[in-house]
Amino acid sequence: MQSLSRWRSRAGRRVVQAATVLALAVAIALSASAGTLQPLENVLQNAGFAMRSHAASGQIHVVEMDAASVAAIQRWPWDREHYARVVERLDEAGARTIAFDVDFSTASDREQDDRFAAALADANATVILPVFGQRGSFAEKRQLDSLPIPQLREHALLGSVSVSPASDGLVREMPIGTFNADAPRPSLSAQLAQRSGVADDDFPIDFSIQPDTLPRHSFIAVKMGEFDPATFAGKDVIIGATAIEMGDRYATPVHGVIPGVIIQALAAETLLDGVPVEIGWALPLLLAALFAYAIIAARSRNRILVQFGLGATLVFALLHFGASEFALRIAIAPALVMLIAAALLRWAILVREDFEEARLVDAESGMPNRRALERAAATHDRSRIVAAMIDEFDAVKLVIGQDAISDFLARLQDRLRVAGCEGPIYRIDDRALAWVSSLEPLELESRLLGMAAILRSPVEVRGSRVDIKLTFGIADVNAPDEALHAASQAARHGECFAYHEQAQKSALDQQLSLMGELEEAMEGDELSVLYQPKFDLRAERITSAEALIRWRHPVRGDLRPDIFIPLAEETNRIDELTLFVLRRVIDDVREWRKGGLEIRAAINISARLITSADFTARVESILLEDRVPADRLIFEITESATIGQFDLACSALRRFRDLGVGVSMDDYGTGQSTLSYLKRLPLTELKIDRSFVQHAHRDHADALLVSSTVELAHQLGLQVVAEGIEEEACLDFLREIGCDYAQGYFIARPMSADAFFDTAQTTIARAA
């Protein structure tokens, strides 16, 4: 059952954890879709670029229309023969591709245009001329292209060079191709890298390529042929403006403001590694969700850090190796946010739990405190709280010193445990411990008396012996203050314990309801009678038994007679109960006789019943039914209750005696009985209380008391039963002093009528 409920709560916890992760994932996915995470994504991607920063391939060369060229050529726009010359030079040097990022959309001098067109026509290299596009309108993606003049474009491929910065003004992407009014057109970079793809698809430029590692050459130097001819063999060359005064410059994420031609070169370099495939954020988010689950389930901060570390490393590895090995572009911001959110959430929960836990612990002693008690109390009804107040706690503190207090409280707890205190013990106050008790009131009271006794000997704390005295207060389970108050009331009146009024009332209510159930118990089979053998020390066999009642309560479990006999006495139900036992005993003795076993059975009878005319009359009429001979029965009268109307009691007992019933004085030595009781009551037997018998074989004083009592009883013509024999040595001692009967756990515990029959038969067989 318990493991099932534990399983259930564990399963429940898992569901909550999974739901938390799911909710986080959904929230993050929504904000990722809305673009909220883009700024973070940009930062992360930049970090990715920095991580895998590397040199350009060297395949793509840039011929710069730089400051030196501007200074050398002077007139702007340049005559097209300069471009023609450069094309010839590069073509001679064996360049594979010659691409221009220069606007040739308007005609210039006719001679100059012819010259340039001729150079293009003669070139073996593939020549690419730029198309500059403008958006047709803000909403439209279609481009209005401005093409090179027809004379030039006849001899060249066309490549779009539009650059479109993102909303933050930075250029991150480049199209594979653009759409003009009628046809898709590849971009210059796609042409250069000889990659194809879907027009209108933008790809991210790989800014991990360091722009300053692109091989660069000054336009004027190339024009003058001042270069190593091997430089350009098989290379792809882009020609464009880098001189600041030409203004063709754009802001980029990692490398600041750079010329458009360099961006074109970087874009082409990017495509050389393959067209980047954008994976997006969903997949990494899903992966992060697994780690987030582990984080949410983490029981310690270390585990949170470990899982977070693993998750974040994996996400960054995905970004890094995806880009460097597989040309994948992976968006990781949502995944990272997922991990961070899960870690923060879990961390906060753990901090809160720690805080909650600390709130439930008494700092000085480490014991659970009053709040913990109040929380625990919420789950108990029908229970009581017991406050144990330490008398003179300030004096104790002075003796042992402030830092030994937790030791002292620990010793005290040990004592309480030894004395039968179960469950957690709380420190509800500087000077008071407390616990929850579900014992029946009478049992609780006797337990508390026992505790007070056990605490009487001093405890040792760090070498000094400290006397402790506890005073107990009992209140309803949810009222620690009332328990404390009751304890101080008890201390004031010099009592061991006291109830708070309310608790007293509820204890009474509980007892009354128990008594209400007694009748039902007698009708049903909740009540049973057990028999404890009395061993005949001369015959060496069992010749009689004491009947002891038991109540197996369906809700409260086994109830001991100590609890309900006194209640039955107080509520005038003891007569019915005793008659119930008497009838049951008569039935059992009858059965035993039928089985050939002659046994005398003793019944406990409260002293107060003896003086009840009604009770004695009913007993007489039962005895007169003659179901068994009356001399098979013994009435044990407990002497602790003072016998009120002594003469009345004497005459009732005498009547029983006349019928043949034996009369025994129970618990002899503990109560108020005097020698005159012994003399005047019509007794046949004396039961020496177990507190004298138990240690008589090794305690000289007890031995003396027991042996002289046996002697005295014999003088008075009484048989003697010694009870509480728990050891063989004790039995031997009793034999030696001539005691008649012995009763105790060493001989046998109380047992059912059937078991008793078998046990008695075997001892008879053994004796014979």
Sign of CA dihedral 347, 348, 350, 354: positive
State the binding partner of 562 from Mn ion, ligand G, none, CB within 5 to 8 A by kind.
Answer: ligand G
| Closest to Mn ion by CB, 420 or 561 | 561
Residue 557 has a CB neighbour count (10 Å cut-off) of 9
Q: Which of residues 589-618 bind ligand G (CB under 6 A)?
A: 604, 606
Number of DSSP helices (H) and strands (E) in the chain, helices first: 28, 31
Q: Which of residues 350-369 bind ligand G (CB under 6 A)?
A: none
Place of tokens 């005290």: 412
State the binding partner of 206 from ligand G, Mn ion, none, CB within 5 to 8 A by kind.
Answer: none
Closest CA to 689 of 734, 724, 727, 640: 724
| Amino acid identity for residue 180 in this structure | N
| Closest to ligand G by CB, 160 or 673 | 673
145 makes contact with ligand G (CB under 6 A): no
Site string for Mn ion, 594-613 (x = CB under 5 A): ----------x---------
636 makes contact with Mn ion (CB under 5 A): yes
Task: State in angstroms the smallest separation of the CB of 752 from ligand G.
Answer: 14
Sign of CA dihedral 427, 428, 432, 438: negative
Task: State in angstroms the smallest separation of the CB of 623 from ligand G.
Answer: 17
562 makes contact with ligand G (CB under 6 A): yes
3-state secondary structure of 748: coil
Task: State in angstroms the smallest separation of the CB of 697 from ligand G.
Answer: 13
Binding segment for ligand G (CB under 6 A), chosen from 81-89, 459-467, 723-731, 758-766, is 723-731
| Closest to ligand G by CB, 218 or 604 | 604
Binding segment for ligand G (CB under 6 A), chosen from 12-20, 101-109, 160-168, 560-568, is 560-568
Task: State in angstroms the smallest separation of the CB of 678 from Mn ion.
Answer: 17
State the binding partner of 258 from Mn ion, ligand G, none, CB within 5 to 8 A by kind.
Answer: none
Q: Which of residues 660-689 bind ligand G (CB under 6 A)?
A: 666-667, 687
CA distance 741 to 687: 9
Closest CA to 205 of 271, 294, 112, 107: 271
Among 41, 173, 666, 689, indicate the residue that binds Mn ion (CB under 5 A): 666
Burial letters 730-753, b for 16+ CB under 10 A, else e:
bbebbeebebbbbbbebbbebbeb
Among 451, 549, 643, 703, indicate the residue that binds ligand G (CB under 6 A): 549
Closest CA to 571 of 610, 519, 637, 499: 519
CB closest to ligand G, residue no = 744
Binding segment for Mn ion (CB under 5 A), chosen from 8-16, 356-364, 427-435, 658-666, is 658-666
724 makes contact with ligand G (CB under 6 A): yes
Closest CA to 99 of 132, 119, 128: 128
334 makes contact with ligand G (CB under 6 A): no
Structural tokens at position 273: 């590694």
State the binding partner of 627 from Mn ion, ligand G, none, CB within 5 to 8 A by kind.
Answer: none
744 makes contact with ligand G (CB under 6 A): yes
CA distance 215 to 695: 109
| Closest to ligand G by CB, 116 or 635 | 635
Task: State in angstroms the smallest separation of the CB of 402 from ligand G.
Answer: 43
Among 312, 323, 332, 581, indicate the residue that binds ligand G (CB under 6 A): 581
CA distance 293 to 15: 11
| Amino acid identity for residue 308 in this structure | F
Binding segment for ligand G (CB under 6 A), chosen from 411-419, 490-498, 561-569, 622-630, is 561-569
| Closest to Mn ion by CB, 206 or 636 | 636
For 403-465, give the DSSP string: GGHHHHHHHHHHHHHHTT--S--EEEETTEEEEEE-S-HHHHHHHHHHHHHHTTSPEEETTEE
For residue 186, whether the previous peptide bond is cis, meaning omega lies within 30 degrees of 0, is no
Task: State in angstroms the smallest separation of the CB of 543 from Mn ion.
Answer: 16
745 makes contact with ligand G (CB under 6 A): yes
Binding segment for ligand G (CB under 6 A), chosen from 242-250, 373-381, 537-545, 719-727, is 719-727
| Closest to ligand G by CB, 325 or 525 | 525
For 541-569, give the DSSP string: EEEEEEEEEEEEETTTEEE-HHHHHHHHH
Q: Which of residues 218-237 bind ligand G (CB under 6 A)?
A: none
Among 160, 578, 616, 709, indicate the residue that binds ligand G (CB under 6 A): 578
CA distance 53 to 102: 29
Task: State in angstroms the smallest separation of the CB of 363 from ligand G.
Answer: 43
723 makes contact with ligand G (CB under 6 A): yes
CA distance 234 to 91: 10
DSSP strand pairing (470-476 vs 384-390): antiparallel
Structural tokens at position 570: 């107080």
| Closest to ligand G by CB, 666 or 685 | 666
Among 384, 584, 690, 695, indicate the residue that binds ligand G (CB under 6 A): 690
Residues 6+ apart with CB under 8 A from 409: 365, 367, 427, 433
Residue numbers at the binding site for ligand G (CB under 6 A)? 532, 548-549, 560-562, 565, 578, 581, 604, 606, 666-667, 687, 690, 723-726, 743-745, 750
Which residues bind to Mn ion, rule: CB under 5 A?
604, 636, 666
